[in-house]
């Protein structure tokens, strides 16, 4: 089992492309780990929403409410990191959800800081999977369908 790791930092409204495509599409990937760390970990009253999509997003909101839509076929993962003050305590809450879907094209990581304009660090582990011709065809057709629906 080959694991590939990616890490980066996104500003509010930012988007990173993680290049995974190959010429023949015979290598697929599955998300195994998706973690977040605020640029300023002790910053209070922050809420970061980071999503991973199979297609590039044309509009990433900044400093506003973001809706996570699990009906979106292009959404591969979503994570929410909040740090709110309650008295003197600083409880940090992180929720991460990802699909066990296999993909063989580039993925796109987006970030919105709902309560401010801070940055976020992300870490992604992908398991590399060898695809046979049928799996390759299915993954490629899903990507084409998702791009066409945008």
Per-residue model confidence as pLDDT tens digits over 106-122? 999 999 988 877 889 99
Check whether 26 has a pLDDT greater than 60. yes
pLDDT for res 43: 65
Stated pTM of the model: 0.84
Q: Model confidence at 150, in pLDDT bands (50, 70, 90)?
A: low
pLDDT for res 94: 78
3 alpha-carbon distance from chain centroid: 17
3-state secondary structure of 118: coil
The alpha helices in 1-150, defined as continuous H runs, are 133-149
Asked if 53 and 69 count as a contact pair (C-beta separation under 8 A), the reply is no
Check whether 29 has a pLDDT greater than 90. yes
pLDDT for res 148: 61
Residue with the bigger pLDDT between 105 and 137: it is 105
Domains and their CATH numbers in the chain = 2-149 (2.60.120)
């Amino acid at each position: 089992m080959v694991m590939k790791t990616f890490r980066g930092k996104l500003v509010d409204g930012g988007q990173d492309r993680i290049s995974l495509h190959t010429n023949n599409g015979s290598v697929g990937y599955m998300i195994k780990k998706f973690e977040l760390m605020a640029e300023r970990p002790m910053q209070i009253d922050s809420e970061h929403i980071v999503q991973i999509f199979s297609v590039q997003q044309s509009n990433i909101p900044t400093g506003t409410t973001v809706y996570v839509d699990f009906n979106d076929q292009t959404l591969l993962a979503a994570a929410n990191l909040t740090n709110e003050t309650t008295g003197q305590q600083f409880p940090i809450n992180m929720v991460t959800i990802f699909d066990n879907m296999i993909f063989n094209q580039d993925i796109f990581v987006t970030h919105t800081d709902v309560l401010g304009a801070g940055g976020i660090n992300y870490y992604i582990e992908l398991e590399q999977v060898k695809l046979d011709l049928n799996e390759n065809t299915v993954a490629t057709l899903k990507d084409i369908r998702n791009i066409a629906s945008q």
